[in-house]
């Protein structure tokens, strides 16, 4: 769907209401924040303010900045358009481009923080990938929205305002990649999308949010304890691709031939979104054991949204050679395994990696 005249007029009218004064854009007393836009619902548009149907990635970053009143009082803000896609179409290519661009920007003395606008569907994945590959203590904050820019009560401008406030906050330094949505600040590793449509869609179900941001007022309550940023061993400088890792969704009577099909198709690692405590149907577990013996690592995660996958529970990982994901969900387990395979981490060291990342 293309922006029609009505929706385009709506967006432009917001941007031209006088909230943004280019003359105020540079203030030497304020931090400098770069916004990297990737698309998503926050940049989406619809034919009607009350229509749930919309097209992602229709609005450019400059228009989004101009439609965020007061942001110029928080920081000197500039924007770059990295991509303009719905996050269901996010790719590893864009991840690598983002990570390398962020690392490049944060080496500059005149950049104090980064905000990334992103669709909510895969925001938890991109944030975790960046938390492992961005090599700086400076704040990196992802945000987005559940309602498009033309929707009634669109929350995108306030989410963007709050994300800039977090990125500009001295207290945000050393906290890793964060997700700021709906007044909460989440750690990239912990956050999950828990609802399909509600503006309160994001939670950190086990550890809770890191802090809050209410109309720009930033408060932190904790810092992540796993490896990220400078303590992460992963480096994607100059990297153009990552090994393929597939996710298999666990269910009753899961066919044992599915896992070998993924391996035959080119998967170099497998994550199983298991039932309960990462449990796997016997036929699939047998196929997984064969895969491990042939150098294809298999990680047991869980489709259950909260809790830990324990090592040597009903599945005796010491015997099967599988890896227990702990509290890392399937999509994030896939990311960690991809990076581990790229870094040539031996299978014997993968469990320790999952324990610490």
| Active-site residue set | 41
Q: What H or E segment, with its residue span, contains residue 37?
A: strand 32-39
Neighbour-count burial of 319, counting CB atoms closer than 10 A to its CB (0-12 exposed, 13-18 middle, 19+ buried): exposed
Alpha helix (H) ranges present in 107-155?
123-133
DSSP symbols for 40-64: SGGG-B-SSTT-S--BSS-S-HHHH
**Strand ranges inside 103-252, DSSP E:** 113-117, 140-143, 177-181, 184-187, 192-193, 202-203, 211-214, 217-220, 245-249
Contacts of 170 (CB under 8 A, 6+ apart): none
C-alpha 257/C-alpha 281 separation (Å) is: 12
Residue 198: phi, psi to the nearest 5? -70, 145
- Which residue has tokens 């009218």? 13
194 C-beta neighbours (distance < 10 Å), count: 14
48 Rama class: left (phi>0) / alpha (psi -120 to 50) / beta: beta
CB distance 299 to 337 below 8 Å: yes
């Amino acid at each position: 769907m293309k922006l029609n005249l009505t929706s385009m007029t709506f967006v432009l009218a917001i941007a031209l209401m006088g909230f943004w004064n280019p003359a105020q854009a540079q203030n030497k007393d304020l931090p400098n924040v770069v916004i990297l836009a990737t698309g998503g619902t926050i940049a989406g548009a619809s034919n009607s303010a009350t229509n749930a149907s919309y097209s992602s990635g229709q609005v450019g970053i400059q228009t989004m900045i101009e439609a965020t009143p007061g942001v110029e009082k928080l920081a000197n803000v500039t924007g770059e358009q990295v991509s303009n896609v719905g996050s269901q179409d996010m790719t590893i290519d864009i991840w690598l481009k983002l990570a390398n661009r962020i690392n490049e920007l944060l080496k500059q003395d005149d950049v104090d923080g980064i905000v990334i606008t992103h669709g909510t569907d895969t925001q938890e994945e991109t944030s975790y990938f960046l938390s492992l590959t961005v090599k700086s203590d400076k704040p990196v904050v992802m945000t987005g929205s559940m309602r498009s820019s033309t929707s009634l009560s669109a929350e995108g401008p306030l989410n963007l305002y709050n994300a800039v406030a977090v990125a500009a906050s001295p207290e945000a330094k050393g906290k890793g990649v964060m997700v700021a949505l709906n007044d909460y600040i989440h750690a990239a590793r912990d956050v999950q999308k828990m609802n399909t449509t509600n503006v309160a869609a994001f939670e950190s179900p086990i550890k809770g949010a890191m802090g809050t941001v209410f109309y720009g007022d930033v408060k932190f309550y904790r810092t992540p304890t796993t490896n990220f940023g400078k303590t992460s061993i992963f480096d994607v400088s100059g990297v153009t691709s990552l090994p393929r890792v597939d996710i298999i969704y666990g269910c009753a009577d899961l066919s044992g031939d599915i896992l070998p099909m993924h391996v035959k198709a080119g998967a170099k690692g497998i994550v199983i979104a298991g039932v309960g405590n990462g449990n796997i149907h016997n036929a699939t577990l047998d196929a997984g054991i064969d895969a491990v013996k042939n150098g294809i690592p298999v990680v047991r995660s869980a489709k259950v949204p909260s809790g830990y996958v324990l090592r040597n529970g009903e599945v005796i990982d010491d015997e099967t050679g599988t890896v227990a994901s702990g509290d890392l969900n399937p999509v994030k387990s896939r990311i960690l395994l991809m990076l581990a395979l790229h870094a040539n981490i031996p299978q014997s060291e993968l469990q320790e990696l999952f324990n610490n990342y």
